[in-house]
A and B are shown apart, each in its own frame.
Chain A
Amino acid sequence: MTDTCDVLIVGVGGQGVILASNVLGEACLAQGRPVKAAETHGMAQRGGSVECHVRIGGTLGPLIPPGGAGVILAFDLLEALRYRHYLAPKGRMVVNRQMVVPTSAFMQGLAVPTVEEALGKLQDLDLCPLDADALALEAGSPLTQNIVMVGAASPHIPLSAEALKAAVKRSVPPKTIEMNLKAFQLGRDAAASCR
């Protein structure tokens, strides 16, 4: 684990990708670490593909080069396929084992890979698949799946669990703090069985 780490978070608008990246950014601040991040705006309500770049320890530009991400958090399998070329040779991908089929694919009858096919196209990577939706429900709300994902990636991110949890508290609505801390822990525990 190096001191600097480029983390790419991808998903579908509305899944809380930007909030997940804010947790990493706030944790950097708490640990006195420089950070740069870039995000896609305006997709939250419109279901588009969303990518957030977070460069822990970054002092220059906010964008991660393809092949440079130490960790990818993919909230959706189709987005995992779309962005897998960003992963560094020794990087790890944490992926939610589910797929939102794009509406345009239904409308135009485009071929969409199944969950199993998609996982198959990721098998050559250091992959940690988990059912973030189910864990989020267990934590108390499907909306916490973004924090489940952050928890699952946390062992591979050079930030302390304490700093990340404090950042979760700062970043989520006050009423949902307990639920989100539980989601973080459930994700972290689930990822422990990955290896």
Chain B
Amino acid sequence: MIGKNSLFGPIDPAVESGYSDPPARKGFFTDTSVCIGCKACEVACKEWNAIPDDGFDFLGMSYDNTGALGASTWRHVAFIEQPAGRRDGGSSAPVDLGMPSIRTSDGDTAAEEDGKPDFRWLMSSDVCKHCTHAACLDVCPTGSLFRTEFGTVVVQDDICNGCGYCVPACPYGVIERRKGPEGAKNVGIAQKCTLCYDRLGAGMTPACAQACPTESIQFGDVDELRRRAEERLEKLHADGVQEARLYGHDPNDGVGGAGAFFLLLDEPEVYGLPPDPVVTTRDLPRMFNRATAAAVTLFAGAVLSFLGRRR
């Protein structure tokens, strides 16, 4: 059924999709402030989901040779080596917690005069957002993409015919049609994170969260994760990390809130995330009206062409 908030606004996605008594919505809270860039999540995801390789390229981007999420990359760790001057929200100087400083091999402190390192690492493990209003799912013409009872979005690879429509629909550039390698499974079919639907069904934690050594990736009920995220944000702000912010946690945002949301230490675009993403189907009723008006115009024009002079 099409309800008031079917295309935009806060809803429970599983109930909206017709589950009468679904389990609590599941998701990820990725706290990038404790990510150490170990890529255990990338590896665990690849191993558990038997994802083929997608090329071994040297990208020249810090320690990131994965590049972006894609058909064969369902977790992607971004690395940003950021000079101190770039630091956002820098008005609040970090509090000196008396931690050991970074030293180079010859014993000098790798820092500027004030004793602070002259750069910081930003590391963040990106993943499918499992949007409340998922454009990929909305535009899929075959019904291959579907909403699970956990409120997540999953591709049924035996139904997808590889039309590719979900690929440009995603406001985060997550889902992709698998190009190769030749002989790998599901080539030509759209692929993305399933939030380990198989593990969830068995009451297990998704592989990436299970493997994360610092609990940067937290798995759980979305409601609970949102609470935890708010607490963590308050704690960081109290500690003087004013640049900390949540991303994707708000049920009133452009995608109705993400099932997988983040705590970031800089603007989203620094991590390759869109700063204010909106589900494209929010505008679908207006698109439909405009197209109907255009079709009527075309028909009327054709009729008019046959009126008047006979030649």
Bound pair: A and B? no
Q: Which residues of B contact A (CB under 8 A)?
A: none
Q: Which residues of A contact B (CB under 8 A)?
A: none
